A and B are shown apart, each in its own frame.
Chain A
Amino acid sequence: MKSLTPEMFEPKLASLDEAEKISRPILTYFQDAAVRFLRNKVGVFCLGFLTVITLVGIVGPLFFPQMGEDMAYENAINTDFQNQRPSLGDYLLVTDDSWSPPDALIKPNFNTAAGLLAPEKVFAPQNFKIASAATVNGVTLQWEPLEGVTGYEIFRIAGKKESLDLESFRTSPGSVGMTLGKIEDPAQYTFTDSSGLDPSEHYAYAIVSYVTYPDSGETTFSTTASVLNTALVKTIKISDAKHLKANAETGDTIRGRAFLFGTDSLGRDIFARMVMGTRVNFSLALIVPSICLLLGLIYGAISGLSGGKVDLIMMRVIEVLDTLPYLLLMIIMQLVMGKGVLSLIIAMCAFGWTGFARVIRGEVLRLREIEFVHASRLLGAPLSRLIFKQIAPNLIGLILVVWSSRLPGVIVSEAFLSLLGLGLEAPAASWGMVLNEAAQQFQSHPVQFLLPASVMATALLAFFLLGDALTDTLDPKLRGRD
């Protein structure tokens, strides 16, 4: 080891300034908070996500009319499009009220006097096909009537095209399928099925002939059936078709509207209703907490600054209000004021301000006694200066945190009231209204509920996580320790 001599050690004289030098850039409180917030990936993502939704809500209907009022409200009620599943636009046949498929029914020659067929000669009728088009309004079948039979039976099965077991249907239609009708006229060559036709399903029909021998009373059915399968063609009235394609004519096939979320029981586009609903819900989410904030701020500040008896009484009042069952009272208030946006806002704000008041009062009390406020007072600051320059700026962080934590609650409350039949007046669109209508169709068309519910759930999660992120940024003490 090298020997160390005193000359090697020179004291490094640090000046007083050097010792306490600061080398970070200057940031105001908010700039600092913004930087910290941007580091919180979850928070930034949620903020971005919610901004996108907001923009879609505001700008969407302006640029894409199909997201707009037309498709969401009364104009959109359209029985032709009830309960559609989500799609990018089905192909539609343009019709008008008087249109009927070209007449393909040719009445065949038939000899009614022919004798009954022997059992081994009983076959299913031939040329079983659809007369022209199979639409939601009706599927007209036709076949070649068989001479010598007593009648026919027609069966039907429905489902996804791949899952239809056509072989079994052909050999034993009665056990596989549903009986549509028994035809007791051997000369009949056509039948129209219009019972519960669902455009989302694929249908197969089977027809068998049967002979009933009068002497023995026995009935023989054809051993196999004639089978056909078809999907339903959707139709659109010419007046509506013109909106989609100006020069459409009856008999044309055009592409219909895209229903991203499908349609509801009145035929309205659910996605459009959700977009319009975004405007309502997000406006409420911004307005209601802000009103509550204002009320709570004034009340809490007065209570905190006054102190003494005034403070005591004001807090007792808040205690009483807090213990009231606000949900039930909200219901009653909506009942009293009728449905509608204003009544909704009033009902939600009526009891929501107490939380703000408490928090603000607590902070005001703390700030009142804190030394820098005393110092300012000591310097001779007037009351206005104390309030606006000393106390208020220190409240902002807390206010922001509490305010942002109230956003999801508004959306939930609106949905809650709507699901109880209160909320807004029909035919307005809000997320809650959409859910309420969809809930009634839940058993038969669950998708109507599930998609909007997912949107709402995602938005709620985003608000919630955003609130957490803001709390972390502005006042980590409020969160549980991690």
Chain B
Amino acid sequence: MTGEIFVEAKNLCKHFNLGHGQLLHAVDNVSLQIANGETLGLVGESGCGKSTLGRVLVRMYPQTDGTYLMRGNEVPNQLSFAERKRFAREVQMIFQDPFASLNPRMTVGDIISEGPDIHGLWRASEKRDRIHYWLNRVGLRPEHAARFPHEFSGGQKQRIGIARALAIEPRFIVCDEPISALDVSIQAQVVNLLQELQNEFKLTYLFIAHGLHMVRYISNRMAVMYLGKIVELGSSQDVFSSPLHPYSEALIAANPYPDPEKERQRKHQLLTGEITSPVNPKPGCRFAARCPIAQERCKQETPLLREVQKGRFVACHLR
């Protein structure tokens, strides 16, 4: 990892109070850094807290505990509308659900120009051109500006979402499962687009997804989350080819090979056991109940994320 640190999270926690003393530890003690211009991939199964982490980083939620620094400055927990405006020029989000992320009553042009309108970035005379520019840039046509979201396909909607996020020229974009709702062929197109834009505009990405191949393709480094905690962190290449944490192993092993022959020959490892609940969790490794190599110590003591090799972090007593 090189370059200036753009985003830093130290012991970030996000807990939800469910009432009656039930506390849901959605994000528990997460520490990570994202360098300027890099893409950090974040993977994990559904419910592991990756989306929540993403939302905390865009300040859709305040964090419950820990520190969140952006370019060395602490991001306030509750943003006033003025602070929110400043923050918006730094961080934007691309949403998972293309259908719900665009206001059906607004034209595409309005959607894209909303940010610049709020921040006064464009002069009235150049507005139309700018909208056309962005439409072209994401692979759509200028005449689409007057149309409504419901007239577009899922992939096109995501492109509009990307254009919207980029139009106010942010530095850091949290991509919250941007391709999960799309067909595979379209997924590739959108991911390629994201990469192009990153190169052109020098963007920093947090790429949240559960499709491992795509994450590996687009990310420099990769973090694996399980039940609110980061269990492994390292370069995508390393994590993918030689995972250290037993959960990462299982996750990557579960990823099917595109070649049916090879896939059939592969050894399949199944995880058995109950999933620990993220509500009022007891101390000990969260993965212990399903871990094939779990020992007594794992059930008593929570493992911390520690650097075992240069740039590689694991949260396991045994690795």
Contact = CB atoms under 8 A, between A and B. Distances in A.
A and B in direct contact, judged by CB atoms within 8 A: yes
Contact of B168 (A28, A374, A379): A379
Contacts of B152: 20, 22
Interface string B80-107: 0100110111011101110011111110
Nearest to A367: B103
Contacts of A379: 88, 92, 114-115, 118, 164, 168
Given A17-B141, A29-B104, A394-B105, A375 B118 contact: no
A371 B81 contact: no
Interface size class of B (residues with CB under 8 A): 35 or more
Nearest to A382: B81
Interface in A346-372: 370-372
A372 B101 contact: yes
Nearest to A27: B148
Given A372-B102, A372-B103, A377 B84 contact: yes
Nearest to A379: B115
Nearest to A19: B153
B97 A393 contact: no
Nearest to A394: B105
B288 to A, nearest CB: 34
A380 B148 contact: no
A381 B81 CA distance: 8
A19 to B, nearest CB: 9
A429 to B, nearest CB: 43
A383 interface: yes
Nearest to B164: A375
Contacts of B114: 376, 379, 381
Interface string A387-405: 0011001100000000000
B301 to A, nearest CB: 38
A72 B156 CA distance: 64
A385 interface: yes
A423 B151 CA distance: 51
Contact of B81 (A16, A28, A383): A383
Contacts of A375: 93, 95, 101, 161, 164
Contact of B101 (A26, A371, A380, A389): A371
Contacts of A324: none
A121 interface: no
Nearest to A383: B81
A27 B151 CA distance: 10
Given A22-B151, A375-B95, A380 B115 contact: yes
A381 B96 CA distance: 21
A205 to B, nearest CB: 79
A394 B104 contact: yes
Nearest to B96: A371
Interface residues of A, number: 28
A372 B100 contact: yes
A373 B114 CA distance: 12
A81 B161 CA distance: 74
A380 B88 contact: yes
Contact of B103 (A28, A383, A394): A394
Contact of A380 (B85, B96, B105, B139): B85
Contacts of B58: 378
Interface string B169-196: 0000000000000000000000000000
A383 B81 CA distance: 8
Contact of B147 (A16, A26, A29, A370): A26
Contacts of B297: none
A380 B104 contact: no
B60 interface: yes
B56 to A, nearest CB: 13
B308 interface: no
A24 interface: yes
B147 A381 contact: no
B95 A371 contact: yes
A389 B103 CA distance: 9
A370 B88 contact: no
Nearest to A30: B105
B119 interface: yes
B141 A374 contact: no
A16 B115 contact: no
Given A24-B151, A371-B97, A372-B103, A378 B81 contact: no
B146 interface: yes
Nearest to A381: B118
Contacts of B118: 379-382, 385
Contacts of A24: 151
A378 B105 CA distance: 19
A370 B84 contact: no
A129 to B, nearest CB: 83
B100 A29 contact: no
Contacts of A393: 103, 105
Interface string A12-23: 000011001010
Contacts of A380: 81, 84-85, 87-89, 115, 118-119, 168
Nearest to B139: A16
Q: Which one of B96, B103, B147 has the highest number of Cβ atoms from chain A below 10 Å of its Cβ?
A: B103
Contact of B148 (A29, A371, A372, A373): A29
A378 B85 contact: no
Interface in A18-42: 20, 22, 24, 26-29
A373 B101 CA distance: 8
Contacts of B96: 371
Interface string B141-171: 1001011100111011000010010001000
A22 B102 contact: no
15 contacts: A24-B151, A26-B148, A371-B100, A372-B103, A373-B103, A377-B84, A378-B60, A378-B88, A379-B164, A380-B81, A380-B85, A380-B87, A380-B168, A381-B118, A393-B103
Give the 6 A-B CB pairs with smallest separation, nearest first: A380-B88, A380-B85, A371-B101, A379-B115, A393-B105, A372-B103
Interface of B: 58, 60, 81, 84-85, 87-89, 91-93, 95-97, 100-106, 114-115, 118-119, 139, 141, 144, 146-148, 151-153, 155-156, 161, 164, 168
